[in-house]
Amino acid sequence: MGHHSKQHPCLSCGACCAHFRVAFYWREAEPDGIWKVPIKLTVDLDSTYRCMKGTEVKHQNKCIALTGRIGRDAHCSIYQNRPTPCRNFIASYEDGKHHPRCDEAREHHGLRPLRKDDYAGVELPPPPSKSPQIET
């Protein structure tokens, strides 16, 4: 009998993608940039920052890369190439700690805040590895 883990709560939520501005250093959207965010999905904010289209207007945010229905089957269409703010956003209790910005986004879309027990049976990714130290 196989063991099936429960789906991570973020994999269908999308509330943060439709609530916050997603601004990042412009080089992330360059072909040789660290994440190669598709430049056609971004707009210039100023000479240093770009942002994901759809998140540039306060209180009317919905990232252009978000597909599906928030809280049901929402997901990022550029997940492997998502910018740093998306990579750094932590869902409440994903790391065992409460994160109010996650709750804020979920509440805005009529979703209840995540709880610790939402992660029972969820296979969580390993924590990010630290850069190797160079000995001199």
pLDDT, tens digit (0-9, with 9 covering 90-100), for 22-80: 999 999 999 888 889 999 999 999 999 999 999 998 777 899 999 999 999 999 999 99
pLDDT at 111: 97
pLDDT of residue 135: 42
Rounded Cα gap, residues 59 and 105, in angstroms: 11
d(CA 104, CA 15): 9
Cα–Cα distance for residue pair 46/118, rounded to 1 Å: 39
User: For the chain, what percent of residues have pLDDT higher than 90?
Assistant: 71
- What was the pLDDT predicted at 109? 95
* pLDDT score, position 131: 41
List Cβ neighbours of 125 (8 Å cut-off, separation of 6 or more): none
d(CA 101, CA 31): 31
